[in-house]
Structure 1
């Protein structure tokens, strides 16, 4: 239920399809943007041109986490609203 990159609860749980390891979407994307294009748990390579195939949102895992951790969904919504309010387009 936690991300091994940030050590927090999974938010926008995203699974690498080749190895089935799951992380926060933002954690994975930050790694890829910084040039670390491999799974942090097993080292499977990610290709920027194939991220749409290699990374999949895991709605079932995310629903399980939001059910298991009361208040997490509401807290995440508050964080997102705060971000949008302070970073207008």
Structure 2
């Protein structure tokens, strides 16, 4: 048993302060918001993350904003009433706007759904695959390197090595004179420009999208 208040910081949107709906994560910093909230923020307020102020993208922020099925599934599992409430709101919307063609909303979906305003916008046939990362400190200085509070991270497979390095710099509060080096199966990934899915396909033969990445923190030469 646990108090739901202890988990609110992980289940709520940093903009509307409500429980996440159509959870969408910024791949540059891994902060999550309701889809409509972060889209409105980017279009009307700023191209920077509303939590950490990192630049999402200089021209097209939606390149780095992805639906986060894992977090949304957790919200629905812990708080099934969230899905029920949203469905009632959608029903009320269609009742108030009979000119809009209703969607099938009989059952609460287990995964994020396309909002009514996006129903006519073409979407890819499938979302990018998710990769589970295990991030561990490595090297002779590992004992003196700050450890991540949570070493397990779930990201889209299209994220790059640079994205992971940037994430580590933020989470470990590294000074600008420090550099992050990543290794997978003993090979350096620091100068790679490939995606995490490419790394998985190169080093792993199993079907589970899981990658162990080791990081080393050092001074720039």
Q: Give TM class, smaller chain.
A: 0.7 to 0.9
Root mean square deviation, CA, Å: 1.7
Match of 2:19, SS? Answer: coil
- The gaps in structure 2 that reach 5 residues or longer are 1-10, 101-221
Aligned match of 2:70: 60
Aligned counterpart in structure 2 of residue 7 of structure 1, from 17, 23, 29: 17
Alpha carbons of structure 1 residues 48 and 76: separation in structure 2 relative to 1, 3 Å: farther
Aligned counterpart in structure 2 of residue 71 of structure 1, from 49, 68, 81: 81
- Alpha-carbon shift at residue 47 of structure 1 (Å): 3.1
Instruction: Judge conservation of contact 1:13–1:24 (CA < 8 Å) in 2.
Output: yes
Match of 2:80, SS? Answer: coil
Aligned counterpart in structure 2 of residue 20 of structure 1, from 25, 30, 48: 30
Q: Which moved more, 1:48-57 or 1:75-84?
A: 48-57
Take 1:81 and 1:69, find their aligned partners in 2: how far apart are those partners? 20
TM-score between both structures, scaled by the size of structure 1:
0.87
Instruction: Judge conservation of contact 2:28–2:56 (CA < 8 Å) in 1.
Output: no
Higher helix share: 1
Higher strand share: 2
- Alpha-carbon shift at residue 71 of structure 1 (Å): 1.5
Alpha carbons of structure 1 residues 35 and 4: separation in structure 2 relative to 1, 3 Å: closer
The alignment status of 1:41 with 2:51, answered yes or no, reads yes
Take 1:34 and 1:49, find their aligned partners in 2: how far apart are those partners? 14
Instruction: Report the count of equivalent residues.
Output: 89
- Alpha-carbon deviations, 1:19-61, whole Å to 9, x = none? 0000111110111121411101111113375334201000110
Choose between structure 1 and 2 for higher RCO, CA contacts under 8 A separated by at least 6 residues: 1
User: Which entry has the higher C-alpha Rg, 1 or 2?
Assistant: 2
- The gaps in structure 1 that reach 5 residues or longer are none
Alpha carbons of structure 1 residues 85 and 48: separation in structure 2 relative to 1, 3 Å: farther
Instruction: Judge conservation of contact 1:13–1:25 (CA < 8 Å) in 2.
Output: yes
TM-score between both structures, scaled by the size of structure 2:
0.38
